[in-house]
Amino acid sequence: MTTIKKIKAPIQQELHDFEPYFKNSLQSDIPLLATILNFLYRTKGKQLRPMFVFLSAKLHGGTNESSKLAACSVELLHTATLVHDDVVDESYERRGSFSVKALWKNKLAVLVGDYILARGLLLQLESKKYNFLHLISRAVQDMAEGEILQMKKSRKLDIDDETYFEIIRKKTASLIATSMAIGAASAVDDEAIIEKMYSIGQDAGIAFQIKDDIFDYQSKGLLGKPTGNDIKEKKITLPLLHVLNEADRSERKRILRLIKRKNNSSTVVEELIQLVTEKGGLEYAEQKMNEFKDKAISGLKEFPECEARESLIELMNYIATRKK
């Protein structure tokens, strides 16, 4: 079984040094803002993206001070987007705690997200890392486009496979792709390698999001049942999309009508979760997830064998087997 501890082994020192650096980046002289930033630091997640950055840098010659800045830039962007996402999704919970939106309301949440994003961009400008700035700005653009496309499709419910993959490529995979690319960019000045790492990260990111989509039909909520949050938010993700593609015309229309009109009904949500389970939606999504994960691993195996490469492969496997 792949463990985070095993994955971190080659970059243990880098991650140790990163912590105070990242914490220092989440500072402000404004007392209220400082309180919120400290709350965000204390409730941070596993920090997978800095792991991608450091391992990618190590794969291509070794980590340095620029690698630390790269990891911080990525994690600041990730933190900012989570704060904004909770406003967009009207979510009151994040990582088992209250969200910034829940505690300080929408206006402050939007402003805090903006502040964190600006902090990352300023760090890159102050260090004259214009290549980092380009990669991060591209990720911001992609993530915004992905979110807007998903919102549009949630209203019309006219999503197909091509659109689904475009949404997750932009909304989720772009940041993991950027983590891999910016890590490489901190170690080498080779555009071909940087773009190759971006492509590998994109495949890993797509696998990561499909796994999250599967969780919505499997993970247990407070009542010991799948959450069905995507259904409630009218998000048609891969497990349900497979069922829609396999259904005849009348069944498809019935399912879409249920999502559109009664998506908050617990009975309807449970019915749709059961339908996805019975019709093989989860197996199909898992198969697709593994295809993208395996493609990412194949890309990594084109580089010479080393400890960092093996940890990156383990990280790809972790993405597909994690429990939350």
3-state DSSP assignment of residue 128? coil
Euclidean distance between CA atoms 208 and 203, whole angstroms: 9
- Reported as a single tens digit per residue, the pLDDT across 160-210 is 999 999 999 999 999 999 999 999 999 999 999 999 999 999 999 999 999
pLDDT range class, residue 232, cuts 50, 70, 90 = confident
Lowest mean pLDDT among 55-64, 70-79, 96-105, 179-188: 96-105
Domain regions of the chain by residue span: 4-321
Percent of the chain topping pLDDT 70: 96
Which is higher by pLDDT, 199 or 266? 199
The candidate with the shortest Cα–Cα distance to 72, out of 130, 19, 31, is: 19
3-state secondary structure of 264: coil
The band of 88, judged by pLDDT with boundaries at 50, 70 and 90, is confident
Name the average pLDDT for the chain: 92
> What's the rounded mean pLDDT across residues 3-25?
94
pLDDT digits (tens, 9 = 90+) for 115-171: 999 999 999 999 999 999 999 999 999 999 999 999 898 888 888 999 999 999 999
Dihedral of the CA atoms 60, 64, 69, 72 (nearest 10)? 70
Superfamily of domain 4-321: Farnesyl Diphosphate Synthase (1.10.600.10)
Residue 298 in tokens: 């194949």
Q: Which of 203, 195, 199 is nearest to 165 (CA)?
A: 203
CA–CA distance, 54 with 314 (Å, rounded to integer):
14
Which residues have CB under 8 Å from 76's CB, separation 6+? 22, 25, 26, 116, 117, 119, 120, 123
Is the model more confident about 256 or about 324? Answer: 256
DSSP class of residue 171?
A: I
Q: What ranges in the chain are assigned the alpha helix state H?
A: 4-8, 12-25, 31-42, 48-59, 65-88, 100-126, 130-156, 161-168, 174-185, 191-218, 229-232, 238-246, 249-262, 266-278, 281-300, 307-321
Q: Look up residue 193 and give its two tokens.
A: 């390698």
